[in-house]
Structure 1
Amino acid sequence: MSRRIVKVLAVDLPLAVFLGCIAISTTYATTRMGWPPAHGDWPSHPFSPEPVVLPLVCAGVLAACVGTAVRRLRQRIALAVTVSGATVALAGGGMLGPILLMVLLVLFSVALVHPLRAWAPLSLLFVPLLLAPRLGEPYFGLLDGRLLAGATFGLGLLCAAVALGAVARTRREGARSAREQELHRYAYEERLRIAREVHDVVGHSLSVISMQAGVALHVLDRRPDRIGPSLEAIRTTSRDALEELRGTLAVFRDPAAVPDRAPLPGLDRLSDLVSALAAAGRSAEVTVEGEPVRLPAAVDHTAYRIVQEALTNVVRHAGGSAAEVVLEYRQAGIGVMVTDSGPILPAEPPDEGNGLAGMRERALAVGGTFEAGPRTGGGFAVRAWLPVDRSRQ
């Protein structure tokens, strides 16, 4: 027996036994007291059957108890058994209250799990249930207005149980759908984040390797002594890129198996980017404005990746021009600007490729702004503002 079944029965079985004992004991007590009186001695009550057949009541209550106990395990079977048992118990003269409560509990459990169309045929069982208390009267008491009033009241309770179950089911399904959408959104954002990381790592590293390989080919015959440093730079860049790429992609294999991943790179590694460009014969000047402060990890990593991608674009598209990196530290955040002295470009905004789109997405992800475009005097400029919420630090 599964743990869920044990937990369900541990709650529902005692509840069913309790309600069954109340139903039988109240019926037995009223029988011992001479309830109901002989026909004609007092006005007949629409919920008081006569005469009382205690064995029949006990059999019906027992069946209703079984259905109540399994109402969360086999909903439709529980409904059929409970309603049938309740009908037998009421036909035998059982008291309506506890028996009706068991029916309402089971009906709520069915509506909580299944839509109405899934158990609509079982609703026919409620017809004899409503008529059972008046089996001894002509035409089942249909000519008695009090029966109609009592049947209307009982039908209203049954409809209320169905409505409550349907509302609870709708809310639960809505919450489950919201959770699934949240998981899908998280998975999409995680894939997008990893795609940006892979693009930045691979793009920058391949650009540096390509520059170093070009330098090695250029000095192959004239300056053989320059080949060694270029090859060493290629090896170092490729090794670092492979390590960072391996750590980024490890989450696809087993997220729980990589708890000791290296921290995300930040602006403290900016000197490595500049050194790699300088080793390949490209210059990059870094200017820091304001007092450097410790940035949140997300903002620090975003600033680093924007600078990295911007320098990669300088290498790819700006020929041999120099680059300038400006970091502007302010109390409210940090400004990042990367410019180059390349040729004059058309004034219209450039088509955003993966690089510019990735930088914009990174800036927006931390609540910042991003813009990029040609400079008036020639070259290209990338500007980003990344805010910092000091109240959370």
Structure 2
Amino acid sequence: MIATAKPPLLRRLSPRDLLVLDTLAGAVLCVLALLHGFGPHEAVVSLPTVVIVALALVLGAAVALRRVYPWLALWAVALASAVVAQESQNFPLPVPAAMALTLYTLADGAPRRVSVRGLGVLVGCTALGVVAVQHGLLGPHLPDPAVFHHAMRMEVLGLLLLTLPLSAVWMIGVAVSANRAYTAGLQAQAEQRARERVVEERLRIARELHDIVAHNLSLITMQASVAGFVADTRPEEAVRALTLIERTGRDALHEMRRLLGMLRDGDGNAQDPELVPAPCLADLDQLAARTAESGLRVELRISGERRELPAPLELAVYRIAQEALTNVIKHADAVRVRAVLAYGKDFVGIEVVDDGRGTPEAASSPGHGLVGMRERVAVYGGELDAGPLPEGGFRVSARIPLEAGS
């Protein structure tokens, strides 16, 4: 079982659950604002009871609806806080709490350029409230000079003390938003890479299936034709051809089981008796022998010092040789074919040359065979040359650098 990371608690809550939590928080702030408004404190500006209740309700409603209407909630808090904060010399707790919650919501959900305006709205409205109170716009009387100067100092200090934490809240909201966007980007990249791996795996499986089916069915078709042709005159040859058909079909089934087993298990289960190892370059002798059973004269040569290569690279070279020999059986109408496996200092190569028709149409209409060979070579940054020869016949030559294979 694959373990998946669980999101934070709030991310697992539904929008309705979040709205309920915000409503509870708004109700708590509303009650605290009412307790402060009607509690014993020295008021700079006396506000009517109706105004105190209305402002407390505005603060609570703004917090409750901050996720639904973030900008409206922030403006409501900014305008209400400018009045409530100046009503008392002691900065009431519900005011900065409501400011922080609405500003955080805006900074978390809106672009940075937009959310910074919310910070300016809160600080600006509070500053305008300070100026308005000190000029007596919100009250019937101006305080005496000593109280005025003291209140002015307290308001300026309170404004500074308010701006710093609000700036910190805004930065936290922006950081959380950026982290969420970054995480979403990583997840999107991971999903894209997973989709690309699926496509690559499908292409690899398609190439494997094509190579297995095309090669073995070509041999089976050839032997079936021979059996049908000599069934009356030479029954022993027909029996021999049918035996080869049985063996070729059994080999194809083994390879199909191996491939399907890899799909089931992901990495192939080596202990499964139904699975066989993937073909390698040591199996080229058997491939040449099976190809010769179709009536071709097959010659296999090895150039250079044979050495062990990475399994995927050996499989790619084997499949290229297999596809080239299959094309000879199906299209070339050849009598002789020569395969040369070359081990160089820094490369491995395979060359298949036949003496068939070698017409240009064979190269211009390659079908899936040559396309698959080019894809296999391209995976390792190698080169593939395929085309008719001037003296007749067709040549396929692949060269893969060992550095890419390792």
Alignment TM class, shorter chain as reference: 0.5 to 0.7
Amino acid at match of 1:6: L
3-state SS of paired residue (1:302):
helix
In 1, distance between residues paired with 2:12 and 2:229? 81
Matching residue of 1:222:
233
Runs of 5+ in structure 2 lacking a partner? Answer: 1-5, 86-91, 140-154
Question: Do structure 1's residue 316 and structure 2's residue 330 form an aligned pair?
Answer: yes
Answer yes or no: is the 8 Å Cα contact 1:107–1:161 preserved in 2: no
The separation in 1 between residues aligned to 2:102 and 2:313, in whole angstroms, is 59
Distance 2:348 2:11 in 1: 57
Partner residue, 2:68: 76
2:302 partner SS: strand
Closer/same/farther in 2, CA of residues 229 and 83 from structure 1, 3 Å limit: farther
Tell me the TM-score normalized by structure 2.
0.66
Q: CA deviation at 1:320?
A: 3.9
Equivalent residue for 1:235? 246
Kept in 2: contact 1:86–1:99 (CA 8 A):
no
Distance 2:267 2:207 in 1: 22
User: 2: CA distance between counterparts of 1:80 and 1:227?
Assistant: 90
The percentage of aligned residue pairs carrying the same residue is: 30
Aligned to 1:306: 320
C-alpha separation in 2, matches of 1:193 and 1:324: 27
Alignment equivalent of 2:346, drawn from 310, 332, 337: 332
Distance 2:233 2:347 in 1: 49
Question: SS where residue 334 of structure 1 aligns?
Answer: strand
Higher relative contact order (CA 8 A, sep 6+): 1
Q: CA deviation at 1:248?
A: 3.2
How many Å apart are 1:376 and its aligned residue? Answer: 2.2
1:294 aligns to what?
Answer: 308
Between stretches 204-213 and 342-351, larger displacement belongs to: 342-351
Matches within 5 A, 1:130-141: 131=125, 134=129, 137=133
**Long gaps (5+) in structure 1:** 40-48
Q: Render the CA deviation track for 1:247-270: whole Å, top value 9, x for unaligned.
A: 435677x56596556443221221
Deviates more, 1:259-268 or 1:373-382: 259-268
Question: How well do the aligned residues superpose, as a CA RMSD in angstroms?
Answer: 5.1
* CA shift in 2, pair 1:207/1:184, >3 Å: same
1:196 aligns with 2:207: yes
**Can you list the C-alpha shifts for 1:24-78, whole angstroms capped at 9, x where unaligned?**
89x98xx9996x8x57xxxxxxxxx999x999998887778777xxx8xxx4367
Q: Which amino acid aligns with 2:221?
A: S
SS at match of 2:338: strand
One-letter identity of the residue aligned with 1:205: N
The change in CA–CA distance for 1:140 and 1:264 in structure 2 (over 3 A counts) is farther
Task: Report how many aligned residue pairs link the two structures.
Answer: 347
CA distance in 1, matches of 2:181, 2:398: 45
TM-score (norm 1): 0.68
CA positional deviation for 1:277:
1.8
- The reply on whether 1:100 has 2:99 as its aligned counterpart is yes
Report the equivalent of 1:385.
Answer: 399
| 1:350 Cα offset (Å) | 3.0
**Range 162-171 or range 195-204, more displaced:** 162-171
SS at structure 2 position matched to 1:285 = strand
Q: Read off the aligned partner of 1:299 and give its amino acid letter.
A: L
Report how far residue 331 of structure 1 moved: 2.9
Q: Deviations over 1:206-263 (max 9, x none)?
A: 11001111221232122212222211211121222233234435677x5659655644
More displaced, 304-313 or 367-376? 367-376
CA distance, structure 1, for counterparts of residue 137 and residue 401 of structure 2: 81
* Contact 1:342/1:378 (<8 A) preserved: yes
> Which whole-Å deviations, capped at 9, do the CAs of 1:57-113 have from their partners, x for residues lacking one?
98887778777xxx8xxx43677667756765664323665553333321122227x
The equivalent residue for 2:219 is 208
The amino acid across from 2:205 in the alignment is: I
